[in-house]
């Protein structure tokens, strides 16, 4: 039973970490951060490799990031009066 408890504990910690990273990413998107800057901040804040950070970004918010990037680019183009 101790082994089962340890496995459940590890799973719970993993899920909590993933939720926290997801909230972190969503907050940075809302603040208009670029994908590269979000990855850098994940690496610094959560001690992740660039590959791990990219995987979280792709897994948790890939489509939302694309939308945010397009919106940011469009806003920049609009400000240039193009």
Is 90 exceeded by the pLDDT of residue 14?
no
Mean pLDDT: which of 6-15, 61-70, 71-80 is highest?
Answer: 6-15
Q: Note the pLDDT tens digit of each residue in 25-72.
A: 989 988 988 888 999 999 999 999 999 999 888 887 765 556 666 666
DSSP of 9-54:
HHHHHHHHHHHHHHHHHHHHHHTT--HHHHHHHHHHHH---HHHHH
Task: Spell out the domain ranges in the chain.
Answer: 13-79
């Amino acid at each position: 039973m101790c082994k089962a408890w340890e496995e459940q504990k590890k799973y719970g910690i993993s899920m909590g970490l993933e939720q926290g990273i997801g909230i972190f990413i969503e907050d940075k998107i809302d603040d208009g951060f670029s994908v590269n800057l979000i990855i850098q901040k994940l690496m610094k804040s959560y001690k992740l490799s660039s590959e791990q950070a990219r995987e979280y970004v792709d897994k948790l918010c890939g489509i939302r990031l694309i939308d945010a990037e397009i919106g940011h680019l469009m806003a920049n183009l609009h400000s240039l009066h193009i």
